[in-house]
Amino acid sequence: MKVNAKKVKEIVDKYRGRHDCLVSMLQDVQAEYRYLPEEAIKLVADQVGLPLIQVYGVSTFFKAFRMEPAGKHTCTVCMGTACHVRGAPRVLDELERKLRIAPKQTTKDQEFTLETVNCLGACALGPIVVVDEKYHGQMKPGKVAELLAGVKKKSNGKKR
Ligand code: FES
């Protein structure tokens, strides 16, 4: 992915003089590219005046940062205890089967990235799948196809 140096500079400028904001800067960069491109990390390090290794270290330390491009939609399955006992592993299996990827992977068409998480704090709704920040509670393997089709349909509708 091509990194827009001007855009990265704008992000850094937003936090100018606030050296404790490196994580926020990287979050903004990730929001722009859906991951942290190496080139963008170098630009941030240059602009902030920090050693590249330090910025790279922060990028790889936090689980929230992605070093590989993410798909257009993020599909997160809660694998916390409450969701687990209510069938989350079967829901995850079905998502893996339908998308043909494992957790932390992205489909070849760059549509979906599959993630897992340990408790979203809404255990009573479990098993939960979150797609693009929308919660889908009481998920069942049989609902997975419909869920994915709905996301694709909505996404295609937005393109027009
Ligand atoms: S275990 Fe899934 S929301 Fe808590």
Mean pLDDT on 99-107: 93
pLDDT value at position 159? Answer: 60
Question: Looking at the whole model, is its pTM more than 0.75?
Answer: no
Q: Is residue 67 part of a domain?
A: no
User: For the domain that residue 88 is a member of, what is the CATH number?
Assistant: 3.40.30.10
Report how far ligand 1's centroid is from the alpha carbon of 30 (Å). 26
Q: Which residues have C-beta atoms less than 6 Å from ligand 1? A: 78, 80-83, 119-123, 126, 128
- Tell me, yes or no, whether 34 and 82 share the same domain: no
Q: Is residue 100 part of a domain?
A: yes
Q: Is residue 78 part of a domain?
A: yes
- Tell me, yes or no, whether 41 and 87 share the same domain: no
- Tell me, yes or no, whether 50 and 87 share the same domain: no
pLDDT digits (tens, 9 = 90+) for 120-140: 999 999 999 999 889 999 999
pLDDT digits (tens, 9 = 90+) for 26-69: 999 999 988 899 999 999 999 988 999 999 999 988 878 888 88
Give the number of other Cβ atoms within 10 Å of residue 140's Cβ.
Answer: 12
Q: Is residue 77 part of a domain?
A: yes
Q: What angle do CA 58, 55, 14 make, to 5 degrees?
A: 100
- Tell me, yes or no, whether 86 and 35 share the same domain: no
Comparing C-alpha atoms, which of 17, 37, 21 is closest to residue 8?
37
Q: Is residue 13 part of a domain?
A: yes
Q: Is residue 35 part of a domain?
A: yes
Q: What residue numbers bound the domain in which 123 lies?
A: 73-159
Mean pLDDT on 70-92: 95
- Tell me, yes or no, whether 134 and 78 share the same domain: yes
Residue 160 has pLDDT above 70, yes or no: no
Burial of 126 (0-12, 13-18, 19+ CB in 10 A): buried
- Tell me, yes or no, whether 77 and 155 share the same domain: yes
Report how far ligand 1's centroid is from the alpha carbon of 67 (Å). 26
